[in-house]
Each structure stands twice: as structure tokens, then as C-alpha cells.
């Protein structure tokens, strides 16, 4: 998912786990991204994140993951088998991949966690990244213009032009108790207030009692119903006034 600025957005953490000094033994993640130590069940740590990073780089450059075949419908067991049988340096890459790119992918997709490229510093300083001229400071601050920024801006403009606001989406400004919005910023407070509407409500007098509609129509439309309603109200008032 891309934002309006063309930067990737983190959508959810369904497959996230907190890793401490102990190993994890779950199989948490999408099948094509699982590392060999996850498939074998020998226990895993943060090294699986760098394996998944290698899978992601490969997929972004080719449109498919290295251990699954998108041309056929295959079972998860078949993908597990390819991952478990993967050996160091035996993955076949497309011819368009540079020597430097193959080098960093081989280090990320190393089946032995102890030999895998497993630090952010090592990844940033690898030859393939260094040659790209990546400015990490600008990337982290959002100052770097994303390649998809223009395309995303154009798509959003098209969607806004095509959007026809419905009358049911408009509401009168909120004029109720603004203490509800304490703690919010002034801009957010104003946006929330405008999303509410104060509905007029009739308040009954203390002496006025409600009675259910009678068969035969409303009191205004049926004289018999009106008479019965008046008798019920008088009886209720007499009962309330009588000593207990």
C-alpha cells in the first residue's frame, strides 16, 4: 500500500512477534517468506526478518518470490520443501541481476542464520546499496521524492474529481458540549465537531405521561380513541394524587 507521497505504508502487524533473547518456535508469516529455520522448526530469532527482506527485494525486482512458482497452483508443502532444501549460493537469479545485487541477495538468503547478513548497518553498507547512492537520512525524514509520487498524486486527483458527495454525508456543525473534545488538537476538534449534528428533541413535562397508541387510530383522528385516552390520563393522575 502506497500513501499520497508515494511512500510505502505499514498496514497491519498480523504477522509480527516480539523477539527477546529466547528463540521462537511458531510459524508466523506468509509461506513464501518463511526462513529455513522456521520451516524446520528448530527455533528462530531476528535473522528471519533479514531472510524476508531478501525475499521482498527479489519479489520487487521480478514480480514473484524465489521459492514459489506463480505459473502453477502448488501446495504450501511444495514451497516448504524448496525452502528447506535451499543450499548456500545455489539460488538461480535472472540474468538482469547485477553481480552486486546477487551478492547481497545471497547473503540475505543464506540458509544458516549464523552466516546471514543480519544487521541494518551491514545491509546499508553493502556494495549494491552504496552504488545506488541511497541517501538514508532523506529517506527516513521523508525528504526524498518517491518514484511513485507523481503517479499516486494523479490517481488521488482522479478519485477526488469522480467523487460525488451525497447529501446524507453533510451535517450541521456541532454546538453541544465541547468538553467532549478536550485533549484533541484544535484542528482535529473542529473536524470532529463538524462530523456531528445536534438533533432536536422534544422534552416531556414532568406531569406529562406517555401512553401507547390505542387501536382505531390517533386521538386526533378518532373521537372514541381520544375519549379513551383522556379517561386513561385522568385515572393515572387520580392514582398519583391519592395517598399511599
Residue boundaries of the structural domains of the chain: 1-163, 166-199, 211-244
* pLDDT exceeds 50 at position 52: yes
For residue 82, is pLDDT > 50? yes
Query: 92-109: buried (b, 16+ CB within 10 Å) or exposed (e) per residue?
Result: eeeeeeeeebeebbbbbb
**Mean pLDDT in residue range 142-154:** 85
Distance, CA of 90 to chain centre: 37
**For residue 36, pLDDT beyond 70:** yes
Kindly calculate the radius of gyration of the chain based on its CA atoms and give it in whole angstroms.
Answer: 33
Mean pLDDT of 97-114: 94
Across 69-73, 104-108, 220-224, which has the greatest mean pLDDT? 104-108
The β-bridge partners of 8 are 2
What confidence score (pLDDT) does residue 218 get?
45
Find the helix or strand (DSSP H, E) in which 93 lies: none
- Higher pLDDT: 29 or 199? It is 29
Average confidence (pLDDT) over 224-243? 60
Q: What is the pLDDT of residue 171?
A: 64
Task: Give pLDDT, residue 221.
Answer: 47
pLDDT for 101 equals 94
pLDDT band at 227 (very low <50, low <70, confident <90, very high): low
**Residue 96: pLDDT band with limits 50, 70, 90:** very high
Residue 78's alpha-carbon distances to 42, 68, 163, in angstroms, are 19, 8, 45
Q: Cell numbers 509461506 label which residue? A: 31
pTM greater than the 0.85 cutoff: no
Lowest pLDDT segment from 45-49, 81-85, 167-171: 167-171
Picking from 136, 107, 129, the residue whose alpha carbon sits closest to that of residue 47 is: 107
Query: What is the distance between the alpha carbons of residues 75 and 73, in angstroms, rounded to a whole number?
Result: 7
Mean pLDDT of 62-79: 88
| β-bridge mates for residue 94, sequence order | none
**Residue 233 in this model has a pLDDT that exceeds 80:** no
CATH topology assigned to domain 1-163: Transferase(Phosphotransferase); domain 1 (1.10.510)
Amino acid at each position: 500500500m502506497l500513501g499520497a507521497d508515494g511512500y510505502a505504508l505499514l498496514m497491519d502487524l498480523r504477522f509480527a512477534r516480539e523477539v527477546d533473547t529466547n528463540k521462537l518456535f511458531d510459524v508466523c508469516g506468509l509461506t513464501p517468506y518463511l526462513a529455513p529455520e522456521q520451516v524446520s522448526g528448530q527455533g528462530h530469532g531476528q535473522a528471519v526478518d533479514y531472510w524476508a527482506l531478501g525475499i521482498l527485494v527479489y519479489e520487487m525486482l521480478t514480480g514473484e518470490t524465489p521459492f514459489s512458482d506463480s505459473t502453477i497452483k502448488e501446495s504450501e508443502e511444495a514451497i516448504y520443501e524448496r525452502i528447506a532444501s535451499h543450499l548456500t549460493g545455489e539460488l538461480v537469479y535472472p540474468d538482469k541481476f547485477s553481480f552486486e545485487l546477487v551478492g547481497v541477495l545471497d547473503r540475505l538468503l543464506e540458509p544458516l542464520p549464523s552466516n546471514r547478513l543480519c544487521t541494518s548497518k551491514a545491509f546499508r553498507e553493502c556494495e549494491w546499496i552504496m552504488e545506488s547512492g541511497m541517501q538514508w537520512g532523506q529517506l527516513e525524514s521523508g525528504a526524498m521524492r518517491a518514484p511513485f509520487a507523481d503517479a499516486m498524486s494523479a490517481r488521488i486527483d482522479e478519485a477526488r474529481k469522480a467523487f460525488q458527495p451525497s447529501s446524507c454525508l453533510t451535517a450541521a456543525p456541532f454546538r453541544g458540549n465541547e468538553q467532549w473534545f478536550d485533549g484533541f488538537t484544535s484542528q482535529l476538534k473542529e473536524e470532529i465537531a463538524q462530523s456531528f449534528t445536534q438533533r432536536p428533541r422534544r422534552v416531556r413535562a414532568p406531569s406529562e405521561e406517555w401512553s401507547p397508541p390505542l387501536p382505531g387510530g390517533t386521538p386526533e383522528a378518532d373521537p372514541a380513541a381520544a375519549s379513551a385516552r383522556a379517561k386513561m390520563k385522568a385515572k393515572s393522575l387520580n392514582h398519583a394524587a391519592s395517598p399511599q
